[in-house]
Amino acid sequence: MSMFVKLTIAATVIVLGILAAGIYRFNMTNDDVFMVVEDGRVMPYDDAMTLENAKVQANAVVTDETDVSVPAEVKPVANASEVMLKLFTLNTANPFEVTLPEGHRSVVLTHFIKIKQTELAIGDYQDGEVKGRVLLDYMRITPLNFDPALGPDTQSNAPIQQNLDAQTMPFVAPFIVTTQGSGVFWYLGLFNLDYEHTSLKHLGSVLIGDRIEIDSVEPVYPFEPPYKIAVTYRDRAPNEPMSQNPEIVRILELTVSETSIN
């Protein structure tokens, strides 16, 4: 048998094999096809696809339930106070108001300003023809604990020690009042924060000095009746001009209660 005849026979056998496989596949149904599923079982094609579709639908239901269970975002409060939110994490329209010691006009602290690397809460006011500003040194907010059952270790002069279990938080804080003149008057104010009603009251103020520099505000220990607050600050000698840097250290002790400061 010649080489040509052998090659022809081999090619014919290959073609016939391909045709046979094609005819078999064309006539084969899904019942003849098997698949291996996740748990290792071998199942007919149709049964395997039914199981897979059931899993897809089950996953879709779980996804939908998860989406529904996610709580909606808290709606923003209209005219929310930027100062109350930053200082006390209270999303409220009730403002942080400081009462002017002279004239008793309330000034709303509306935003923040940085002066000599110190950030202050600030509010502008106009009282008749007088314009000015109030600036609160919120980094020196000092919470007060009037509960005599608690020892000194429970006191803290760190800013904003928020306790959501307490209904109120009395505190003192130094603030500045300026006018169109050259004066920069420092006061120590007594405030009370009401968590339940997300509101704040200014209860009183004491003048510390003009163009001074405050170093610290601390409760006097043991912090018990009569409660005392010590303000350490730097001032000038009586005959020194205001252009001089304040260098004389002074300590002012004030008596505080839950309703007053003097």
pLDDT band at 127 (very low <50, low <70, confident <90, very high): confident
Q: Would the pLDDT of 236 be above 80?
A: yes
Which of 32-46, 53-67, 180-194 is the most confident on average?
180-194
Residues 87-108, mean pLDDT to the nearest whole number:
94
pLDDT-derived band of residue 20, with 50, 70 and 90 as boundaries? low
**Best-predicted range by mean pLDDT (21-25, 36-40, 186-190, 239-243):** 186-190
Q: Supply the mean pLDDT for the chain.
A: 80
CB atoms within 10 A of CB 34: 12
Can you tell me the distance from the alpha carbon of 207 to that of 189, in angstroms, rounded to the nearest whole number? 9
Mean pLDDT of 10-33: 54
DSSP code at position 261: B
* Other residues' Cβ atoms within 10 Å of the Cβ of residue 132: 19
Q: Contact, 168 vs 238, CB < 8 A?
A: no
Average pLDDT score over residue span 20-30: 50
Instruction: Give the residues across from 214 on adjacent strands.
Output: 233
Long-range contacts of 244-248 (CB under 8 A, 24+ apart): 246/211, 246/212, 246/213
Would you say 164 and 174 are in contact if contact means Cβ atoms under 8 Å apart? Answer: no
Helix (H, G, I), strand (E, B) or coil at 228: strand
pTM above 0.75, yes or no: no
Query: Using one digit for the tens of pLDDT, what is the confidence trace for 111-121?
Result: 999 998 899 99
Residue type, 162: Q
Determine how many CB atoms are found less than 10 A away from the CB of residue 108.
Answer: 14
What pLDDT, on a 0 to 100 scale, did the predictor assign at position 102?
86
Residue 152 has pLDDT above 50, yes or no: no
> Which pLDDT band, with edges at 50, 70 and 90, does 257 fall under?
very high
Q: Are 81 and 92 in contact (CB under 8 A)?
A: yes
Note the pLDDT of residue 63.
40
CA distances from 176 to 28, 38, 84, 136, 199 (A): 91, 73, 18, 6, 22
